[in-house]
Amino acid sequence: MHAVILFAHGSRDPAWARPIEAVAQRMRERSPDVEVRCAYLELTRPDLPETAAALVAAGAQRLRVVPMFLGVGRHAREDLPLLMQTLHEQHPQVEFELCAAVGENPQIVDALAQVALG
C-alpha cells in the first residue's frame, strides 16, 4: 500500500486543521487508491509517529510525508528530520519519502499569488 501523510504544525484551535483535512479529502477524491492521513507536530492529534504506525499496521510499504508548511523554519529543518530518522528506525521495512515543504513548490507560490491578486 502507498500512503501519504500531510504533516502540519497543529494548534489548540480545532478549526485550524480544516484546511489540511480539506486537502486530504481532495486527494482522496482524486486518487482513491492512495491512503491519505494527516499528522501534526504539536497541539493536535494524531502526531506523525502515531499516524505512521497506524499506516504500517494497515499494510503501508511506502510512506510519503508532505510538510504542509509555507516557510521552512526550525520545525521543517530540525524537528521533522529527527522524526523521520525515528520512523526509519522504528519501521526499517518501510520506504519513507520526505518531500520539500509545500511552500517551496512553484505551483503553490503561483496559486497563492493568483488568490492574492483576486
All structural domains of the chain with their residue ranges: 2-117
Per-chain mean pLDDT for the chain: 94
The mean pLDDT value for 23-42 works out to: 97
Predicted TM-score of the model (pTM): 0.94
Specify the length of the chain in residues: 118
Q: Domain 2-117: which topology?
A: Rossmann fold (3.40.50)
* Residue 99 confidence (pLDDT): 95
To the nearest 10 degrees (0 to 180), the angle between helices 48-57 and 80-90 is: 30
Report the candidate in 26, 43, 42 with the shortest Cα–Cα distance to residue 34: 26
Which pLDDT tens digit goes with each residue over 52-94?
999 999 999 999 999 999 987 777 778 899 999 999 999 999 9
Report the candidate in 1, 38, 45, 44 with the shortest Cα–Cα distance to residue 22: 38
Report the candidate in 11, 65, 56 with the shortest Cα–Cα distance to residue 38: 65
Q: Which three cell numbers stand for residue 50?
A: 502515531
